[in-house]
Structure formats: structure tokens, C-alpha cells
């Protein structure tokens, strides 16, 4: 995430405008983003592209909040009106934050700033754009949060920052204690309980936290789960 106003002449737009459906182009920017991801993946269904596009943005939102919260005890306020996004740029999603305020690293503040201010309206925007399961979207959100924790824990261990890993784990545990996210991942490995559909792409496979042990349709899924 770049901590500056977006460059002039680009197509960055405040996420608040996208969430509210009040962008001058309506929902067209999100629609174009989903179409672009689906085409790049060769997705057999548009909802596969929607899921992957959503997962990428959810991961960016969680990580930009959880990292600073665990490392510094505060995180960027991430007001949707001041967080700009360009749907035409490639992954990882390009975010520019023009704000200057920070919030304390508490479960309540993180939930309000990311879960409530971003993910809830983001899910509504994806629902307006096309048919997609709310369970899949919250599964993506849970997977993205767990992924942010894994990467932060790996970094903290490599750099001798065990306290940061502990703070991150405590914050994530609290964030998962919400009906929207509860049950989206399971076990100590935080394996997701739903599928993002990426395996359905021609070059796709199973994600590291996939609910499946083997891709559906191969016949291998009927074997006993891997140990």
C-alpha cells in the first residue's frame, strides 16, 4: 500500500464510491475487474474470476491492517473514502492511502476498520455484480486473514520478532470470533472450510489451505484424506 495520494491521470477511485454503487461508472469498474481476472485465468465460469478477484482484494485489506497492528501497535485508519484502488491494474491490488490517521491495534478497531467498513460493503458490491455465494466470499475473507497471519508469523520468526507473531495471533483469534468469519477456517493449520474455485481454472490447482485434499472430478477426492 502506498501512503500518498494516487498519481494524477490514473483511474484510481475511492473504494467508498465503489462500495456505495455511486461511482460515475456505476459498477462497471468492478465488473471489468472480474472479467479481466476471469479472462487471465481462462475461468470456465465468471464467478470463478469473481472469487479470485475478491480474494486478492480481501488479502490486501487484511494484510495492510494486521501487519502494522502486530508490529507497531497501531494501523492505518483505512477509511474507504481515502483508500484508492485502480481496477485495471494487475494483482496484487494497487492501493493508495491518502489518509494520515491511525487506530489502536485492538480487535474492535480492526473489525470496524476492515470487516465492517470494507468487507461487508465489498461483498454487497460483488453480489450486485453477479451470482456468487456469500459463504464463498466470507470463506475468502477468512482465508485471506489466515494467510496474512501465516506470512506475518513467518516474517516475525525469521527476524527474531516473536512478540509480533504473538500479537498477530491474538488479534486474528479475536477477529475470527464473529459470526461472519467463525468456522471459515479450521484446525491449527487454519485450513479453509469452503473452496475459492481456483482449481477449476485450466492452470489452477489446490491452494495451500484448500478444503480439498484432491481436486474434485479427478476421482482422487474419494480417497482417504491425506494425513
59-63, 203-207, 212-216 — which is least confidently predicted?
Answer: 212-216
Please write the tens of the pLDDT for every residue from 163-180.
Answer: 999 999 999 999 999 999
The mean pLDDT value for 214-226 works out to 52
> How many whole angstroms separate alpha carbon 18 and alpha carbon 80?
9
3-state secondary structure of 24: coil
CA distance to 60, 72, 102, 106, 139, per residue, from 173 (Å): 19, 18, 22, 12, 16
Please write the tens of the pLDDT for every residue from 99-145.
Answer: 889 999 999 999 999 999 999 999 999 999 888 999 999 999 999 99
Q: Which residues lie across from 53 on neighbouring strands?
A: none
Cβ-contact 43, 200 below 8 angstroms? yes
- What is the per-residue pLDDT for 6? 87
- What is the per-residue pLDDT for 92? 62
3-state secondary structure of 188: coil
Cβ-contact 106, 167 below 8 angstroms? no
The mean pLDDT value for 178-184 works out to 96
Cβ-contact 70, 159 below 8 angstroms? no
Backbone region of residue 14 per phi and psi (left: phi > 0; alpha: psi in -120 to 50; beta: other values):
beta
> How many whole angstroms separate alpha carbon 197 and alpha carbon 200?
6
- H/E element holding 84? strand 83-85
Please write the tens of the pLDDT for every residue from 38-56.
Answer: 998 898 999 999 999 999 9
185 has a pLDDT exceeding 80: yes
> How many whole angstroms separate alpha carbon 164 and alpha carbon 171?
11
Amino acid at each position: 500500500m502506498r501512503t500518498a495520494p494516487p498519481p494524477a491521470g490514473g483511474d484510481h477511485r475511492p473504494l467508498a464510491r465503489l462500495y456505495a454503487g455511486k461511482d460515475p461508472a456505476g459498477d462497471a469498474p468492478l465488473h471489468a475487474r472480474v472479467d479481466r481476472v476471469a479472462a487471465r485465468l481462462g475461468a470456465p465460469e465468471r464467478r470463478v474470476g469473481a472469487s479470485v478477484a475478491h480474494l486478492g482484494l480481501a488479502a490486501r485489506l487484511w494484510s495492510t491492517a494486521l501487519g502494522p497492528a502486530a508490529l507497531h501497535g497501531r494501523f492505518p485508519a483505512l477509511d474507504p473514502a481515502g483508500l484508492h484502488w485502480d481496477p485495471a491494474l494487475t494483482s496484487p491490488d494497487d492501493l493508495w492511502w491518502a489518509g494520515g490517521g491511525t487506530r489502536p491495534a485492538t480487535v474492535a478497531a480492526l473489525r470496524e476498520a476492515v470487516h465492517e467498513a470494507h468487507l461487508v460493503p465489498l461483498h454487497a458490491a460483488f453480489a450486485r455484480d453477479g451470482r456468487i455465494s456469500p459463504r464463498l466470499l466470507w470463506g475468502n475473507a477468512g482465508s485471506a486473514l489466515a494467510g496474512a497471519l501465516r506470512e506475518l508469523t513467518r516474517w516475525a520468526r525469521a527476524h527474531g520478532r516473536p512478540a509480533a507473531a504473538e500479537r498477530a495471533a491474538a488479534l486474528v483469534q479475536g477477529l475470527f470470533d464473529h459470526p461472519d468469519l467463525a468456522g471459515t477456517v479450521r484446525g491449527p493449520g487454519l485450513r479453509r472450510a469452503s473452496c475459492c474455485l481456483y482449481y477449476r481454472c485450466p492452470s489452477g490447482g489446490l491452494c495451500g489451505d484448500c478444503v480439498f485434499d484432491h481436486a474434485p472430478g479427478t476421482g482422487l477426492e474419494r480417497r482417504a484424506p491425506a494425513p
